[in-house]
Amino acid sequence: MQDHPQTYASATPSLVSFTGQLQGEWTIRSMETLTGASLPIAQALHVASADALAGPVSWRLTAFTSNLRYTTAAEASMLQARQSGLGRSEAVHGALIPIQKNAAWWALAQDERREIYQERSRHTSIGAEYLPQIARRLHHCRDLGGPFDFLTWFEFAPEHEPLFDQMLARMRASEEWRYIDREIDIRVVRNAA
Ligand code: HEM
């Protein structure tokens, strides 16, 4: 993970590619399709700020970091105070979870989406309970026209994987997740340097 902003959201968008291929800095431990169509099997994941890689790939998903949409100033400073950055030496486990939301979600107005996302589903509140152990970065891709709307990326130490699973179980039981019609949970481990 180099040349990327280490913060969760950035005012200047930065393009990031996640490529499933034979070799890469992260070895894929599992790929579980929770909803919708799966992706082809791949052995390794390469994360790069540009998609200038040569060689055969199983899939390449590209997205960009962006500004916040649903976060209040108070929530942003709470998150800023608690969160950890990517690339911590102990955080050798990772998860790439591409997500697509359905037409009903995108037909809602911004205030209606915020109501479901935080007021009713408590996404930010639940997530904040798992900081700083779980580091994360959200990437947007709906506007690029690809198969997903978001590529969510997480890094954590192996002993915190049960915490990560617990957080996912709580979020997946929420009202927000009823609007998700494609989700694939790809777990990886960073290869020794
Ligand atoms: C580690 C704890 C987490 C925290 C603190 C957290 C926090 C946030 C925040 C603050 C936003 C809103 C960004 C904005 O204002 O635009 C957001 C959006 C999002 N998060 Fe999380 N999150 C966490 C975990 C997760 C997990 C586990 C997933 C999925 C597997 C996830 C998926 C998403 C998605 C897809 C969005 C975009 C929602 C949309 O714009 O419709 N987050 N998250």
Based on C-alpha coordinates, what's the Rg of the chain? Answer: 16
- CB of 124 shorter than 6 A to ligand 1: yes
Query: How many angstroms does the Cα of residue 71 sit away from the middle of ligand 1?
Result: 10
- CB of 17 shorter than 6 A to ligand 1: no
Pairing of strands 93-101, 150-156: antiparallel
Query: How many angstroms does the Cα of residue 41 sit away from the middle of ligand 1?
Result: 26
In this predicted model, what pLDDT tens digit does every residue of 1-20 receive, in sequence order? Answer: 333 334 455 667 789 999 99
- CB of 127 shorter than 6 A to ligand 1: yes
E-state strands within 1-117: 15-21, 26-35, 44-48, 57-64, 93-101
In this predicted model, what pLDDT tens digit does every residue of 121-148 receive, in sequence order? Answer: 999 999 999 999 999 999 999 999 989 9
- CB of 136 shorter than 6 A to ligand 1: yes
The pLDDT score that the predictor gives to residue 38 is 97
- CB of 78 shorter than 6 A to ligand 1: no
In this predicted model, what pLDDT tens digit does every residue of 153-175 receive, in sequence order? Answer: 999 999 999 999 999 999 999 99
φ/ψ of residue 59, rounded to 5: -160, 155
pTM value?
Answer: 0.93
